Amino acid sequence: MTASELRTWLQTEESKSVGWKGQDGAARESVGHASGRRIVTLLGRRKAELTDDDYAHMRKVVGYVRRHSAQEPSNKVTSRWRYSLMNWGHDPLK
């Protein structure tokens, strides 16, 4: 997803409704949603501006997308699976 597409997606109710929100579920924002906001920021930076922490986050994103892409459900279009992956910057339908 482009930074613009991801930014728009993160504003939707579907985006905010999925993902892990802490052990007790009390967190206001899921881990994936927070990651999506960080990805938007990273996509706006030049390569020379990226830190080691930024690269570590990108590796985390790649790992998440690989693991969860393997769990493809029968209904891909409106599934929580797709919405969660989109929070991490990957639309499996593209």
How does pLDDT run across 30-82, given as a tens digit for each residue? 999 999 999 999 999 999 999 999 999 999 999 999 999 999 999 999 999 99
**Rounded to whole angstroms, what are the CA distances from 26 to 13, 23, 30, 60, 65?**
17, 8, 10, 23, 25
Q: Answer yes or no: pTM beyond 0.85.
A: yes
Around Cβ 46, how many Cβ atoms within 10 Å? 6
Q: What is the mean pLDDT of residues 4-18?
A: 96
